[in-house]
Amino acid sequence: MKKIKYILYLLIFAFYLLPSHLSAQQQRFPKPEFESGYEQPSTVTPEPRALSLEYFDVLVLLAVLSLVTWLILKKRSRQGVLWVSIFTLIYFGFYRNGCICPIGAIQNVTLSFADPAYAISLTALLFFLFPLVFTLFFGRTFCAGACPLGAIQDLIIIKPISLPKWLNKTLGLIPYIYLSLAVLFAATGTDFIICRYDPFVGIFRMDAKFLMVVLGISFLLVGMFVARPYCRFFCPYSVLLSWMSRFSKRHLTITPSKCIQCKLCSNSCPFDAIDYPTDEKEVVKSGLGPKRFITYALLIPLWIAAGVFVGERSHTFLSKANNDVYLAELLISNPEIKNDPDNIDVQTFLASGKTMETLVEEAGGIRQKFYYGSMIAGGFIGLVIGVTLLNTVVFRKRQDYVPQKGNCLSCGRCMDYCPVEE
Amino acid sequence: MEKESKSKNRREFIQSGARLTLALALGSVSGLALSKVVKDDYVWQIDPFECTQCGRCATDCVMTPSAVKCVHAYDLCGYCDLCGGYFKPDANQLSTAAENQLCPTAAIERKFIEEPYFEYIINEDLCIGCAKCVEGCTSFGNGSLHLQIIHDICLNCNECSIARVCPSDAIKRVPASEAYNVKGDFSKKPES
Ligand code: SF4
Ligand code: SF4
Ligand code: SF4
Ligand code: SF4
Ligand code: SF4
């Protein structure tokens, strides 16, 4: 009898010595046979949100987009757009917690191209596409009333101030940089920065890290005076939307028929998106037009080269955002860290049985992607800067007060100022 | 007048050309993406065999308290009196006194079934997903306690912010139709 007990103890001891992933499969302590008629409860696993509801969201998006488009182009009703914005804020913002949104879907689409193993869900793709398609035909009606981030900023505009043109243009470059970085980080599988730094999602969820709350509230405070700061100076999706809108088939017009140059609408746009009629005399007087145009056009390749250079220089820094690269660098530059029991990442890596070589190799592969990606991103930003500068000297004749098709958010405010009857 | 209409015509031509290009670009993006599209939705879930109980699940979820909770795979449980997930390793008495419990929020309920077996039930409302009990159960017991993302709490973020910091890459996207990896009814071997 004693012998059996002894062997049993030995066996249990042996179990303890087995690596934990193996013993997880075995049962150290067999499941008992109950005599009292005990019934084992089952593990509760609540289902995720039903797929049909996700498709319902796509339908709601379509309906809201169509409604805003109709309100802007046919009904010409700012009031209507306002009510739709409130609905959008409640539904896509507070009810759906601002997720998934077309802005973030940029990253899903990018990653699905870059990573063969990444499957994108149809709803995410549709969320990405519908607003762009609508914008290509009707202008940025998505921004007018179907974007929850736009809606929350639109509803708190109190006293918009007009920014000088150079500042508008300079700050307007940020979305291009943001978009490039977001695509770079998504394509390398590093991070979804658009989602992580979405300033309003914490407000929609009513729960966020302290810093994000501060960021969200400061955006709202600034937004009382600088109308829609996120939309104009940060939103990466706005880049794509403004490309679409610039060439849209139809677009909101300030006047229902013909502009009578009454100037009543000239200060009505809180986003400085109304172009005034051009003063031909001024251009002729300066006489610099064509000369400057050629210089600026010739400068574009230089801007691109500069961008590629900056991208190449910064790829090491940027790649540190990737966890694998960061860990590999840390272990190489600071080998004593292996003895630090508090560094969870290092300790987990050491316990995982993965060799240093594999880690370094993986990190090297990712850094290689960053190398090319940063240069492409840099070149793109250089091109954008060059073209923006070129645009400042291009002279376009305008007789009327018209919205800038790319930057106009189709909010409809200016329509109410036009005295012309249909 | 004629000159003006000419330039207008030209501008319209450029406009529609650019519009067509953009439409084609959109079309090809969607075509390419469509080849990889799946009808099912994806959700985030923890692979319990890869989780190393680092504790970040409690701190890094966008929800407070975390959408990650401990679940109990009863099939695997030994119903031990001396539960590695319930008691602190140095507990001097097998009593339910708080100072003996491993769980910082006293979320585990210990219920007597019959001599010498006890059932352990997780109170999800109290659990913060800290993985302390999981660690205890995995190192001293059968490993029947483990973490899962509970989907009626989880917001299904576009990128799970715990997945980003998980040192073991244990959080992965799974099809919404198979939203849980509960140990036991989940046949995946830890290493193959
Ligand atoms: S600019 Fe961006 S954030 Fe603003 S309304 Fe448009 S899509 Fe939304
Ligand atoms: S519709 Fe466009 S131009 Fe008019 S106020 Fe709104 S953003 Fe400005
Ligand atoms: S972060 Fe990863 S390793 Fe840490 S407790 Fe969560 S699933 Fe486990
Ligand atoms: S120890 Fe942590 S994970 Fe386990 S039940 Fe308590 S709170 Fe939940
Ligand atoms: S997806 Fe979001 S809510 Fe769900 S567990 Fe991850 S961080 Fe938490």
- pLDDT tens digits for range B142-173: 889 999 999 999 999 999 999 999 999 999 99
Alpha-carbon gap, residue A100 to A84, rounded angstroms: 19
Mean pLDDT of B122-131: 93
pLDDT at residue A236 is higher than 70 = yes
Is the distance from the beta carbon of residue A149 to the nearest atom of ligand 1 less than 6 Å?
yes
Q: What is the DSSP letter of B101?
A: B
What is the DSSP annotation of A125-155?
HHHHHHHHHHHHHH-SHHHHHT-HHHHHHHT
Residue B10 structural domain: 1-40
Three-state DSSP string of A258-273: CCCCCCCCCCCCCCCC
Mean pLDDT of A112-121: 89
Closest listed residue to residue A411, CA positions, set A88, A46, A20, A42: A88
Whether residues B11 and B59 share a domain: the answer is no
Q: Ligand 2 — pocket residues by CB below 6 A?
A: A 252, 268-269, 271, 273-274, 403, 408-414
What's the Cα-to-Cα distance from A186 to each of A104, A196, B122, B159, rounded to whole Å? 10, 12, 37, 10
Whether B191 is in a domain gets the answer no
Which pLDDT score, from 0 to 100, does residue B4 have? 63
pLDDT band at B187 (very low <50, low <70, confident <90, very high): very low
Whether residues B93 and B171 share a domain: the answer is yes
Q: How far is the CA of B54 from the centre of ligand 3 (A)?
A: 5
pLDDT at residue A395 is higher than 50 = yes
**Element (H or E) spanning B72, and its range?**
strand B68-72
Kindly give the residue spans of alpha helices, DSSP state H, lying in A93-209: 102-114, 122-138, 141-145, 148-154, 165-171, 174-187, 193-196, 201-205
- pLDDT tens digits for range A202-230: 999 988 888 999 999 999 999 999 999 99
Alpha-carbon gap, residue A284 to B176, rounded angstroms: 65
pLDDT band at B70 (very low <50, low <70, confident <90, very high): very high
User: Could you tell me if B71 and B133 are in contact, meaning their C-beta atoms sit under 8 angstroms apart?
Assistant: no
CB contacts, 8 Å: B39 with chain A: 51, 121-122
Whether B184 is in a domain gets the answer no
The values of phi and psi at residue B114, to 5°, are -160, 160
Q: How far is the CA of A327 from the centre of ligand 4 (A)?
A: 29
Closest listed residue to residue A144, CA positions, set A61, A89, A81, A223: A81
Q: Position of tokens 């969201």?
A: A57
Whether residues B146 and B168 share a domain: the answer is yes
- Using CA positions, which residue lies closest to atom 3 of ligand 2? A403
Q: Which atom of ligand 4 is nearest to the CA of B122?
A: 5
For A139, name the nearest residue in chain B, comparing CA atoms only. B19
Which pLDDT score, from 0 to 100, does residue B112 have? 87
Domain spans of chain A, in order of start: 2-20+51-277+402-417, 281-391
Long-range contacts made by residues A33-36, C-beta under 8 angstroms, separation at least 24?
A: A34/B113, A34/B114, A34/B117, A35/B114, A36/B113, A36/B114
Whether B185 is in a domain gets the answer no
Q: Residues near A319 by Cβ (< 8 Å), separated by ≥ 6? A: A188, A325, A366, A367, A370
Residue B106 in contact with partner chain A when CB distance is under 8 A: no
Provide the angle, in degrees to the nearest 10, between the axes of the packed helices A356-393 and A174-187: 160
Whether residues B58 and B19 share a domain: the answer is no
Q: Which atom of ligand 3 is nearest to the CA of B55?
A: 5
Whether B192 is in a domain gets the answer no
**Element (H or E) spanning A316, and its range?**
helix A289-319
The values of phi and psi at residue B54, to 5°, are -75, -20
Whether B25 is in a domain gets the answer yes
Residue B97 in contact with partner chain A when CB distance is under 8 A: no
Alpha-carbon gap, residue A319 to A328, rounded angstroms: 11
Whether B102 is in a domain gets the answer yes
Whether residues B36 and B54 share a domain: the answer is no
Q: What is the DSSP letter of A280?
A: H
Whether residues B48 and B111 share a domain: the answer is yes
Token pair of A46, please?
Answer: 């609540």
Alpha-carbon gap, residue A332 to A328, rounded angstroms: 6
Mean pLDDT of B31-55: 90
Q: How far is the CA of A151 from the centre of ligand 5 (A)?
A: 25
Whether residues B36 and B47 share a domain: the answer is no
Q: What is the pTM of this model?
A: 0.89
Whether residues B110 and B23 share a domain: the answer is no
End-to-end Cα spacing for chain A: 104
Whether residues B5 and B17 share a domain: the answer is yes
Whether residues B83 and B10 share a domain: the answer is no
Whether residues B29 and B112 share a domain: the answer is no
Which pLDDT score, from 0 to 100, does residue A209 have? 86
Alpha-carbon gap, residue A88 to A147, rounded angstroms: 7
Interface mutation target, options B12, B152, B159, chain A, most CBs of A under 10 Å: B159
Closest listed residue to residue B127, CA positions, set B65, B180, B85, B181: B65
Kindly give the residue spans of alpha helices, DSSP state H, lying in chain B: 2-34, 56-60, 132-140, 161-165
Which pLDDT score, from 0 to 100, does residue A180 have? 97
Token pair of A58, please?
Answer: 């796509």
Token pair of B27, please?
Answer: 């079309």
**Element (H or E) spanning A332, and its range?**
helix A323-333
The values of phi and psi at residue A97, to 5°, are 60, 30
Alpha-carbon gap, residue B140 to B59, rounded angstroms: 25
Q: Which ligand is closest to the CA of B128, given by its number?
A: 4
> How many distinct helices (H) and strands (E) make up chain B?
4, 7
Q: What percent of chain A has pLDDT over 90?
A: 68
Mean pLDDT of B98-105: 86
Which pLDDT score, from 0 to 100, does residue A31 have? 77
Nearest-Cα distance to chain A for B76, in Å, is 7
CB contacts, 8 Å: A48 with chain B: 41, 43, 151-152, 154, 156, 176, 179
Whether B121 is in a domain gets the answer yes
- pLDDT tens digits for range A75-91: 999 999 999 999 999 99
Token pair of A223, please?
Answer: 């937004």
Whether residues B27 and B101 share a domain: the answer is no
Token pair of A393, please?
Answer: 């000297």
User: Could you tell me if B134 and B146 are in contact, meaning their C-beta atoms sit under 8 angstroms apart?
Assistant: yes
- Using CA positions, which residue lies closest to atom 7 of ligand 3? B51
For A186, name the nearest residue in chain B, comparing CA atoms only. B159
Residue B117 in contact with partner chain A when CB distance is under 8 A: yes
Q: B164, A323: Cβ pair inside 8 Å?
A: yes
Number of residues that make up chain B: 192
pLDDT at residue B183 is higher than 90 = no
Q: A24, B49: Cβ pair inside 8 Å?
A: yes
Token pair of A124, please?
Answer: 């995410």
- pLDDT tens digits for range A255-308: 999 899 988 998 899 999 999 888 766 665 555 667 888 899 999 999 999 999
Q: What is the count of structural domains for chain B?
A: 2
